[in-house]
């Protein structure tokens, strides 16, 4: 079976591409076109993987390029998106173009080309601050940032194509994913790179929010398990551990592991607007456990250890002296 992965040059997409190749799928990787011929994190994968990957350079906002990329494939894993919440505050137009219009381009092409499966990537941010926990797939949606609003829009477009045109869509909703190759704007790399860079005052935003963290390999296994189950078409499905930890607890654990002398400093620049901050995310994983054979394989302790080792070896790829948005 031949599959297309959009956003394959990114964090989760590169891990998904790698795992799909290992499982024997023919993989076409949709990467963001740039004049440097840079394929993002795919450039770091071993030749044994990359020799089995077909690269397509394009822009998810371009319907013609998206359709061209999707010709000849059986299924699409759609991960391409803008995801940084702070950047969405001052550049919301780009999030509408990429996240909503980009998803529409995938759905339109999938309908025209009669693609067998389409997995659209959502985010736990669409739920906003938990109104009850654990958050199941029936929880109300709340656009607490322009980013989350565009992901809600993309999800609902995907649902409409399933209901209106019987397009075989599944909405995959990972809670907070972390691990090797994650960008510096995410909270775990933010903390770890500051510590590894020798800083003793670790700058963070709000410390009280809680998150449900998935190690990236568990997230990827979730995608594949959902794809390989014929019970998941037309569904939206959380990938969650059903465990939560506060940002302060997380930071203190990382400080303990790397430099116990470091202290936490609240940086005003890193605070979200009060009504935009998502204060609690704790996901329900009952549905994915019921419909697939997925189970989380990595504890937070294991995942953090592997992430720290990766960042130690790749610190030169991170701009640790600036606030990455």
pLDDT tens profile 15-45? 999 999 999 999 999 999 999 999 999 999 9
Report the percentage of the chain scoring pLDDT > 90. 97
Average pLDDT over all residues of the chain: 97
Right CATH number for 187-211+243-317 from 3.40.630.10, 3.90.25.10, 3.90.1200.10, 3.40.630.30? 3.90.25.10
Got the DSSP string for 192-231? HHHHHTT-SEEEES-S--EE-PEEHHHHHHHHHHHHT-TT
Task: Give the Cα separation of 214 and 295 in Å (integer).
Answer: 11
Residue 191 pLDDT: 97
Tell me the C-alpha distance between 24 and 27, whole Å: 9
Interatomic CA distance for residues 234 and 291, integer angstroms: 12
Rounded distance, CA 58 to CA 38, Å?
12
Q: What is the DSSP string of 96-136?
A: IIIIIIHHHHHHHHHHHHT-SEEEEE--GGGG-S-SSSSB-
pLDDT at 129 over 90: yes
Q: What is the pLDDT of residue 321?
A: 84
Question: Do the domains spanning 2-178+214-239 and 187-211+243-317 agree at the CATH topology level?
Answer: no
Q: Where are the domains of the chain?
A: 2-178+214-239, 187-211+243-317
**Verdict on whether the full-model pTM lies above 0.85:** yes
Q: Which two tokens stand for residue 208?
A: 């009280």
- Is 262 exposed, middle or buried (CB count within 10 Å of its CB: 0-12, 13-18, 19+)? buried
The predicted pLDDT at position 323 comes to 85
Q: Which of 126, 137, 154 is nearest to 288 (CA)?
A: 137
CATH of 2-178+214-239, one of 3.40.50.720, 3.40.50.2300, 3.40.50.10490, 3.40.50.150: 3.40.50.720
pLDDT at position 324 over 90: no
């Amino acid at each position: 079976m031949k599959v297309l992965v959009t956003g394959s040059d990114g964090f989760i997409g590169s891990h998904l591409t790698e795992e799909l190749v290992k499982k024997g799928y023919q993989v076409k990787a949709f990467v963001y076109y740039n004049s440097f011929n840079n394929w993002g994190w795919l450039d770091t994968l071993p030749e044994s993987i990359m020799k089995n990957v077909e690269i397509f350079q394009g822009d998810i906002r371009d319907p013609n390029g998206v359709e061209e990329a999707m010709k000849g494939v059986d299924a699409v894993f759609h991960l391409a998106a803008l995801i940084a919440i702070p950047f969405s505050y001052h550049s919301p137009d780009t999030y509408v173009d990429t996240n909503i219009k980009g998803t529409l381009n995938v759905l339109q092409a999938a309908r025209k080309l009669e693609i067998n499966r389409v997995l659209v990537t959502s985010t736990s941010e669409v739920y906003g601050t938990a109104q009850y926990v654990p958050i199941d797939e029936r929880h109300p949606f709340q656009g607490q940032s322009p980013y989350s609003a565009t992901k809600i829009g993309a999800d609902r477009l995907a649902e409409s194509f399933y209901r209106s045109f019987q397009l075989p869509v599944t909405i995959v909703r990972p809670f907070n994913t972390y691990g090797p190759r994650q960008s510096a704007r995410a909270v775990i790399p933010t903390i770890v790179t500051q510590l590894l860079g020798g800083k003793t005052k670790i700058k963070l935003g709000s410390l009280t929010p809680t998150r449900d963290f998935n190690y990236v390999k568990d997230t990827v296994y979730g995608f594949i398990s959902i794809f390989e189950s014929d019970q998941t078409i037309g569904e939206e499905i959380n990938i969650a551990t059903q465990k939560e930890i506060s940002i302060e607890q997380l930071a203190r654990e990382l400080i303990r592991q790397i430099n116990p002398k470091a202290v936490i400093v609240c940086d005003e620049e890193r605070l979200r607007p009060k009504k935009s901050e998502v204060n609690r995310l704790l996901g329900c994983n009952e549905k994915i456990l019921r419909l697939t054979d997925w189970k989380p394989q990595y504890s937070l302790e294991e995942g953090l250890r592997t992430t720290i080792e990766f960042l130690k070896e790749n610190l030169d790829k991170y701009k640790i002296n600036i606030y990455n948005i």
